[in-house]
Structures are given as C-alpha cells and as structure tokens.
A and B are shown apart, each in its own frame.
Chain A
Amino acid sequence: MAKAKITFTDIDQTVNVPAGTRVIEVSEKIGAGIIYGCREGDCGTCMMHVEEGWNNLTEPSVLEEKVLRENMASRHDRLACQAQILGDCRVKPA
C-alpha cells in the first residue's frame, strides 16, 4: 500500500501513514495541537495550515470550500477532519 509522511510542525512529529488516511485520524493519536469540533466538516474548528505539500491532500469538497470561506481561511488552510493524505505534507493548527 502506498505510504505518505505527514509532519505536525507544532509538535515536530512525523508519521508514516497509508495513503488515503484522514489527517484527523493521525493528529488525534499523535497528540498534535489541531482541535476538533463537529468532526464532519461543518464547524471549521479543525482548520489547519498546510505549510508544504498542499497538492498532496485530497481536493476540498464543495462543502469544505464553503466552510473555509466562512471561516476566512487563508490560501493553504484546510479542514483536518476532511483532508486525506495522499503524499508527504507538513501541517500545523491554523
């Protein structure tokens, strides 16, 4: 199975994950600082900033795009409960 590395820069920890894993699944287990609310892409609490590897996450859905807009997300912000890891990336809480 394809693997990818995600680094949580706030705690300086890197995890090797199966491609397709959602960021939320990893960040909660490793104890990164991203905080979750509804966990279903609605509340915007888990907004994270992608420092590197923006293109290595799945494309945001229409719903995620809407929530990001409502929360004044900057260009490389994503919802950690929605984004799936496809390749190496570095993220931190937004």
Chain B
Amino acid sequence: MTSLQTETATATAARAIAKPGEAVEITPGVHWIGALDPSLRTFDIILRTANGTTYNAYLVRGSDGVAVIDTVKAGFGDEFFARIESVADYDEIRIIVLNHLEPDHTGALPELMRRAPNAKLYISTRATSMLKALLKPKDEDRPLSFETVGTGDEVSLGDRTLRFLHTPFLHWPDTQCTYLVEDGVLFSGDVFGCHFCDGRLFNDRSGDFRFAFDYYYAHIMRPFKTHVMNALKLIEPLPLKTIAPTHGPILRDRPRRYIKRYRELSASTFADEIGNEERSLIIFYMSSYGNTARMAEAICAGAEEQSGLRVSLYDLEGGETQPFVDLIESADALALGSPTINGDAVKPIWDLLSSLAVIDLKGKLGASFGSYGWTGEAVRMIEDRMRGLKMRVPVAGLRIKLIPTDEELEECRAFGRAIAGAIASGEKGRVIDFAELG
C-alpha cells in the first residue's frame, strides 16, 4: 500500500461502519460479513477501481439455523471468518448459498465448508460443474452436500425463507439471486454491484459511487442486456427494502432507483430514435491516401439505395473508440474499411474490434473492404475477426488495388447494395442456407 493509500484508508476507517472483527447488521438477524479491499486498483485485469472494492457476504439468522450467502476472495478469509464468529457459531450454519461461483466470492468456501460441517450448499442448476472445478473433490473425500435450485425454489430457516431467482448470465452462466422473503432483502450477487470500497457500507452513507455503478454495468453486465431484462422481470415485482450485492455499497435507501437505472442502461436507444421498422448500417474506415475513404463513400451510396435502411459513415480517425462502440451496439450491421500496412489492418481498426467484447454482437452482420498497395491482407483479417466475434459475414470482402477507377467505384456501390440486401433479407423468419453463413 502506498502512503497515499494508507492515508486514504485511515481517513475512511475513521468514518467506517465496518469495523475489524465485527459483523454489520443490515436488518435484525441479517448481517454483512464481507471484506474490504481498499488497495485494489485493477480488478480481474479488465476493470479499474479508484478506491478498491468489497467482497460482500451475508449471514441470515432464522429460528431454525443460520445461512451464509456467498463468501470472499482468497486472502480475505480471516476478515470474513472473524465477522462470522462475532454473530454465529459454525455449528449453527445449515445453509451456504452461492449466488455466483467466481473466485472472488468462493475463495473462502473450502475453509468455510471445513469449519461448518453441517452446512449444505445451494447453487444454481448451471453451477454444478463449476463447483466441482473449484473444489476438485477427490474420491476419498466426504461427498459434496449440495442442492441445485431454480426460480421459485425455497429453503426455510424456520421463521425466515430464502427464495431463489434463476438469473443466468449476469455475468456467468451460473448466476442467481436469493431473496429473503420476510425482510424484503435481495442478495443479488454481482447484479447491482460495483467496485467501490467504502467502510460506511450503505448507499446513504458512502461517497458518490454513481460512476462506479455505471462503469461496472458497462463492463460486466452490458454484454448480457437481454438477460438483464429477463432478470429485471423477476426482480421488479418483489417487495424490496434492501438490495445486497456482492460488491460495493448495500442499497438500502430507495433500492428501486438502481433497478430503474439497470432498465435504462439495458434499453435499446437507437431503435427508439429511428423506430423498429428501420434497420441500420454503420460504415467506419481509415484511409492513408483517400482511396479507402472513396470506397467507403461509394459503398455508403450503394447501401443507401435500399429503402428502410439508415446508413451512417464515419472516419475512425475523427473520433474516440468508446462512442463508436455505443453506435455499433445499436446497429444491425457494421462495415469496416482499412488499408493494408505491413501486411495488417491499421491499429485504430484493431482498437475498435478489440473494444467490442462489452457489447452483444450476436446476429449482427459484418463486412470489410479496403484499398491496398501490395498485399491487401487487411480485409480478410477483419472478416476473420468479425466471425470470431460471432458476427455473420454474408458478403465477401472487397479489395481494390490503390486508386479506385470509376468501374471499381461502381463495384463498391454494388458491394454496398449487396450488404444492404443481406440486411433486408435477414428479416426474421427467412430460411438461410448454411453455405451463406461463410
């Protein structure tokens, strides 16, 4: 930890609700037993965090035993177990719910299972193989005591009931939420979470974490918008007092606004703008001597002849990658033009293509074109990458050596018409031949 981080941590600790070795009550009988990781600056390679993160885990006490919901990352077990011990004995733990089996929530699981031998695990139906991969049980081990659960399944703690919601792909296939019926607490896993570390724990006490909430959504949930919408249909009807996610502040003050925010972030924006009847094609290009640019303009002109298609044309050199990613998310098709330099497409093209993992590209159409001097590999490489991203490439790429002639510009217009035709014929219900998929 740097001296600055030490200062920050000390300043935060002074206001902290989370004190070492103590569980924090959320509502009577329900405690936060997680861990703080204030010095973390990069989570899971892909996410930056300005003040660290938390690994939230929870303990629910009923008249007939205790449930632990999720655990913490390996290395944070001491903090986690000390908090458990402040409110429960291990022998009382009958239930361990794992809403998501990623290692930041299951690092302390093997030790918890060792200390709480009476506990049975409750996981989603899709989590079995991951559980076995995590624990790697040997033949001589005690058989794993676990049960798989789906939407509507319940487990009783006597006077309290845990009800499960199957919410897959938020953000792994195994993810689920657990609802404490009598208290209106939703243990939401990574949903509604964020990488934000504040010992004050609750959203009405923490620093302003809105940027972290949106950033987390953009990098973790955004590729799964359809699944988010499906999950919201299950979550929205629930009476809710508190949303207790596995990272970041516990949302006890007006929790519904975070659900509303997820709905806003998951809605399609461009479809609202142009109406669902119209399809959209976005053409991006890079050009050294204006040749690929002229191809792009001709392709655009050809595509625009198709009715019901909105075509947009952009020079990648003139913008930042992020807003372009937003545009692609709303488009039906994407055409990329690049010259070939040293046997490769140019870097801004790869920068754009490598930034698309955060959006859902499945079913979008892709096309590639470019002018080249000697070898012209860029077009095929872009097509390969598009296929790798699960896009369909229905029209073979167009390459033109150096300066396009009038005839070649007509080829470009025809190429644009062919892409537009593929978009139009991709209307739902049409039977596509396997050979067309390339």
Interface size class of B (residues with CB under 8 A): 20 to 34
* A31–B392 touching, CB < 8 Å: yes
Q: How far is the CB of A41 from chain B (nearest CB, A)?
A: 12
Whether A26 and B430, one on each chain, are in contact in the complex, defined by CB atoms closer than 8 angstroms, is: no
Would A12 and B429 count as touching, CB distance under 8 A?
yes
Are A31 and B433 also in contact (CB < 8 A) when A12-B428, A71-B129 are? no
A35 to B126, CA, bound (A): 12
A13-B428, A29-B437 known; A72+B363 contact, CB < 8 A = no
**Given the interface contacts A30-B392, A35-B169, does A14 sit within 8 Å of B429 by beta carbon?**
yes
Least CB separation from B147: chain A residue: A72
Q: Which residues of A contact B323 (CB under 8 A)?
A: none
CB-based contact A31/B391 at 8 Å: yes
Q: Is A15 a contact of B129 with CB atoms below 8 Å? A: no
Whether B432 lies near A28 (C-beta < 8 A) is: no
Q: Once the chains bind, are A44 and B126 in contact (CB under 8 Å)?
A: yes
- B363 near A14: Cβ-Cβ < 8 Å: no
| Chain B residues, Cβ within 8 Å of A29 | 387, 392, 437-438
Q: How far is the CA of A42 from the CA of B130 in the complex (A)?
A: 11
Closest B residue by C-beta to A46: B173
Distance between Cα atoms of A17 and B437 in the complex (Å): 10
B126 close to A71 (CB less than 8 A) = yes
Bound-complex Cα distance A70 to B131 (A): 11
> Residue B128 at the A interface, CB < 8 A?
yes
Residues of A within 8 A of B226 (CB): 33
Instruction: Check A30–B432 contact: CB distance below 8 A.
Output: yes
B428 neighbours in A (Cβ, 8 Å)? 11-13
Q: Is the CB of A43 within 8 A of B129?
A: yes
- The 8 Å CB contact of A32, one of B362, B434, B438, is B362
Q: Nearest chain B CB to A54's CB is how many angstroms away?
A: 20
- Chain A contact residues, CB within 8 Å of chain B: 5, 11-18, 21, 26, 28-33, 35, 42-45, 47, 67, 70-72
With A13-B432, A21-B434, A45-B126 already in contact, 11 other A-B pairs whose C-beta atoms are closer than 8 Å: A11-B362, A13-B428, A14-B429, A14-B430, A15-B432, A15-B434, A16-B431, A31-B361, A32-B362, A45-B173, A47-B126
Give 5 nearest A-B pairs by CB, closest first: A31-B363, A31-B362, A29-B437, A12-B428, A72-B125
